[in-house]
Structure 1
Amino acid sequence: MFHAIGNYFHDRRGTLSKAVGYVGGAYMVGRYISERLEDVRKSILQERAAQENLRRRFEQNQQDASFTVMALLPTLGGHILQGMDVEGVTQELQSYSSKTPRARIEFQHPTAPSESSVTSSVDAARSPGQDGRSDNGSASVTSSVDAVSTPDMSASSASWVDQFSLGSSQVSAVSPAAAREASDCGSSAAVDLSDSMLTTSSASSSSAAAPSASANILAVLSPTTKSKAELWREVKILTFTRTLTVIYSITLLTLFTHIQLNVLGRSKYIQSMIQQERDERLREQLQYSTSVYSLFWDDKSFEDPETDELEDAENISEETERKYLTLSWWILHVGWKDVGERVRRGVEEVFEGVSLKTKLSAADLHRLINDVRRRVEYEVTFEGKERRINFMSTLLPPTPETLQHVLTQGGIPSWLAMSPDSTFDSFLVETRNYITSGSFERVLEVCLDHAAEELFHGVERNVFGTTTDTDDVLLGDQEPRERLAGMLPGLARWCHIALEGLPNELVDGLAELREVSALSAIIYTSYEDRFR
């Protein structure tokens, strides 16, 4: 029987050999396809995990940027509200309009600061003990605008100012002694304001002022009186200046913070990927170390020197990161003043001829503010053409000396601020390139438009939506109108909401803009050249 079976297979050995070859080939092909499909599946899963990791890191980075802006906003808001003290000037106007036998006289140094300077003009109208963020000042920004709708301008001025007072009984109860006390406070404020000028004066003027005490008293007490019209003009100009300065400062701070954190986030992401690749190579080395091959070859032979060099280049020290983040000190303490100066000039050119009695619609206010924005955002070249500015001097210190000053003032030790740091220098150059790029220019324009729309919504809601004058009721297609003086309390209140509101609609709205996310994505994913 076994012989017959053997003969059967021997006679058909060719056919069986072919069958075995086909089956074996099919098995090997199937095994190969299965392995390749498994490799493809693993690569897809790894790619999806990498994309999810990148997406999660990017979204977390954008949230960190919003939190950082909110953390820096109190510092920026404190400087703006203190440097542009609308409430303080309004209290001066309140004191001037109070029902006293004689008007209040403000004593100042004969050399008055220039009105072109935002902070100087504000400080000249302030007095100690009348802080813009006091209870009296806080009540002013929440006052109703209904009281400004009387036909007479003087009555309109007094009615709006009365909203800033503690009460009509307190205003009518002001005595001449209180007026004299206020004058004394004003004179002491003038002495404080002139300290800086006196310290920088020449030695001859100082020696001339020393012998005679009566001469000093006469110089300090030389009265200069601001009229009611001048105070109203200062309130008008300063209110619009502060409002637009808040818009520009918050927008620029938001974009600058996004650039900073995305540059750092991208570098940390690259560093983590390089570390992950290095860990993978170490695992491979451990596998080889258990084989006989490790007896003849050193484990260091598996290391990639180019990857190690790239890892060292992308490694960011805590000192470098701290120095780079300290750059925001410039816009918080100096840059906003540069914006304020430009805004002040634009507001004076546009609103100088607009009377406080003028009734404006929302479209009129939109047109006036856009006119100011054009003067702020564009400059005229020698050829007579308009050119958009990039706010470089607002966001970054312009010279190496100011850069050292920023780092020192931001808490960086002097030796560390002056030491060479190639990584920090590359970050600084990259940041300047992004600020001067066309993408940043486009994103800044969109962000400013959004911030202006937030302002207009607030004005329409708090000013035009609460008017009760029969003259301002809609008649057919006629738009509601409000006196310019009636808009000032709403604008002053909006500044406090934009700087101190929680949650902050302006900051959240800017962070959610598609253009801001696109700019952040461009910065966060600009690492391809590093691996070529």
Structure 2
Amino acid sequence: MPIFSSLNSFVRRHKKKLIVTATLTFSAYFLVNQFIIKKFKNFQNSLRQELFVKEQIKRRFVQTQNDCYLTILALLPVLTQPIVNHLPIELITQALKLKKTNSNPTPQEISDSLLTTDNLTMHQNASDSSDLSHYMSLSKTELWKLLKIKTLTRTLTLMYSISGLLLLTRLQLNILARRSYLESAIILAGGKVNDTETSQDYFIEQSYLSLSWWLLNKGWLKISDLVEKVVTEKFNSINARTELSINKFDDLLCEIVNDLSTNNNQEILNAIFPITYDNLIESLLNTNPELIKELDIEDSIMLKLINETTYLVSNEAFGDILINMVDSCKSTLIENLLLSLDPENAYTNQEKVIDISNIKQFKLANLLAQLSIQCGVLCDNNNLTNDNFSNELSGNIYMNNLNEIESLDEFSASIYSNFE
């Protein structure tokens, strides 16, 4: 047929050109497939990997913060019980009750209801007869003055100590979580981690965490002494019958916190972590004395961990966050006092103009009774055994509010993401 003849003739005439064209077309397809499409697929894979890594980092970070919260709940009794025993307001209250019972019927300085076990719960240490006899030798006036100072000191000492322990634990666990993530990244990249070194690292990391011994055994007492001194100065002229509004009481607490942050900031930081060499040695002697030699090895893991922690604790940001946490505890306390003593005004809109003449006032004794109850809330870790622990944190309201402070999360994130 003419068509096939002409086509055959065309192919013979342009055979070389057709071969070259076909070769170039195939080569172009091969290049596009091998380079452009392959690079696009590689880009997609790397993007997925990057998103996966970011998600893993985020997940580990969230888990670390939850671990911090659970750790603090577990340590609460270890921290708070010595503070409660050191500031035995229950014993003082029992002495006041016994004096009231043994005295002749006379007009009472303070309402009987202020000394009920509902307001000031008796603890087991209240049965210590030797200590009780000491308080029984004091007058009622002396006992009320002592009760005032010790109750306020206990409350603020618990606030500072719990805040300090949470902040320190966040710092330590995020440093260790960052190290763990880097080791995992090395393994994923094809590197190897020596099993012996891993075992030794675990021991050192646990020993590093045990440096919280300082706050749990020594630091809280130093904080208590600092707090009691300022409390005595601010409340010395205020007796148990003095009537105060909750706002005025809040102002007095603010003055104490401001005084401590201005004049005793470094002492409080020293009480949270063994910053000085002598305190560090004492802590290691009581926890892991065999690691003292690590302090003389410049590139030892233990020394690096301690140096980074000391640097961060000494940093101004650490002190600022601690004050934010104490303020959070104080705000929670005031809210709870309002709910207990003045529920009608507890939810008053802050923008609403309040008639000063209608502001309720309460005897300091009433406020002290409520503080005793709030100390019990601060010490509460009964909600630790929650099998459904997830996004909803269990535990006391003070701990929950502390755990949600934005600056605390930012501080934790800055440590966790510092891969230098």
TM-score range, shorter chain: 0.7 to 0.9
- TM superposition shift of 1:100: 4.2
- The answer to whether residue 223 in structure 2 is matched with residue 339 in structure 1 is yes
- TM superposition shift of 1:6: 5.1
CA–CA separation in structure 1 for the residues paired with 2:118 and 2:50: 66
CA–CA separation in structure 2 for the residues paired with 1:308 and 1:98: 71
- The answer to whether residue 318 in structure 2 is matched with residue 440 in structure 1 is yes
Aligned length: 386
- The answer to whether residue 418 in structure 2 is matched with residue 415 in structure 1 is no
2:125 matched residue in structure 1: none
CA–CA separation in structure 1 for the residues paired with 2:335 and 2:85: 25
CA–CA separation in structure 1 for the residues paired with 2:47 and 2:118: 69
Q: What is the RMSD of the two structures over their aligned residues, measured on CA atoms?
A: 3.2
Give the TM-score normalised by the residue count of structure 2: 0.82
Paired letter, 2:412: S
User: Is the Cα contact below 8 Å between 1:242 and 1:340 reproduced in 2?
Assistant: yes
Q: Deviations over 1:2-27 (max 9, x none)?
A: 98755421322465356425533541
- TM superposition shift of 1:423: 0.6
Structure holding more helix per residue: 2
Give 1:490-509 correspondences, 5 Å limit.
Answer: 490-501=370-381, 502=383, 503-509=395-401
Paired letter, 2:280: L
User: Is the Cα contact below 8 Å between 2:72 and 2:165 reproduced in 1?
Assistant: yes
- The answer to whether residue 97 in structure 2 is matched with residue 94 in structure 1 is yes
Give 1:306-317 correspondences, 5 Å limit.
Answer: 317=201
- Aligned match of 1:371 in 255, 259, 269? 255
- The answer to whether residue 177 in structure 2 is matched with residue 265 in structure 1 is yes
- TM superposition shift of 1:349: 0.8
User: Is the Cα contact below 8 Å between 1:447 and 1:510 reproduced in 2?
Assistant: yes
CA–CA separation in structure 1 for the residues paired with 2:213 and 2:18: 85
Q: CA 1:481/1:319 → structure 2, altered by over 3 Å: closer, same or farther?
A: same
Paired letter, 2:417: T
1:39 matched residue in structure 2: 42
Give 1:174-213 correspondences, 5 Å limit.
Answer: 185-186=129-130
- TM superposition shift of 1:506: 1.4
- The answer to whether residue 416 in structure 2 is matched with residue 519 in structure 1 is no
CA–CA separation in structure 2 for the residues paired with 1:453 and 1:248: 14
Q: CA 1:46/1:334 → structure 2, altered by over 3 Å: closer, same or farther?
A: same
User: Is the Cα contact below 8 Å between 1:90 and 1:161 reproduced in 2?
Assistant: no
- The answer to whether residue 345 in structure 2 is matched with residue 479 in structure 1 is no
Give the TM-score normalised by the residue count of structure 1: 0.66
Q: CA 1:493/1:308 → structure 2, altered by over 3 Å: closer, same or farther?
A: closer
- Secondary structure of residue in 1 paired with 2:241: coil
- Structure 1: gaps spanning 5 or more residues: 103-151, 167-183, 191-222, 280-306, 380-386, 468-473
User: Is the Cα contact below 8 Å between 2:342 and 2:360 reproduced in 1?
Assistant: yes
Give 1:128-527 correspondences, 5 Å limit.
Answer: 155-160=108-113, 162-164=115-117, 185-186=129-130, 225-278=137-190, 317-379=201-263, 388-389=265-266, 391-410=268-287, 412=288, 414-418=289-293, 422-465=300-343, 478-501=358-381, 502=383, 503-527=395-419
Percent identity between the two aligned chains: 25
- Secondary structure of residue in 2 paired with 1:360: strand
1:194 matched residue in structure 2: none
CA–CA separation in structure 2 for the residues paired with 1:18 and 1:437: 72
- The answer to whether residue 62 in structure 2 is matched with residue 59 in structure 1 is yes
Q: Deviations over 1:265-303 (max 9, x none)?
A: 111111111111126xxxxxxxxxxxxxxxxxxxxxxxx
- Structure 2: gaps spanning 5 or more residues: 120-127, 346-353, 384-394
Q: CA 1:315/1:163 → structure 2, altered by over 3 Å: closer, same or farther?
A: closer
User: Is the Cα contact below 8 Å between 1:324 and 1:424 reproduced in 2?
Assistant: yes
User: Is the Cα contact below 8 Å between 2:294 and 2:303 reproduced in 1?
Assistant: no
User: Is the Cα contact below 8 Å between 2:183 and 2:193 reproduced in 1?
Assistant: no
- Secondary structure of residue in 2 paired with 1:317: helix
User: Is the Cα contact below 8 Å between 1:86 and 1:235 reproduced in 2?
Assistant: yes
CA–CA separation in structure 2 for the residues paired with 1:54 and 1:162: 53
User: Is the Cα contact below 8 Å between 1:66 and 1:511 reproduced in 2?
Assistant: yes
CA–CA separation in structure 2 for the residues paired with 1:261 and 1:62: 8
Q: CA 1:308/1:330 → structure 2, altered by over 3 Å: closer, same or farther?
A: closer
- TM superposition shift of 1:312: 9.8
Q: Deviations over 1:296-326 (max 9, x none)?
A: xxxxxxxxxxx889x9999862220121011
- Higher Cα Rg: structure 1 or 2? 1
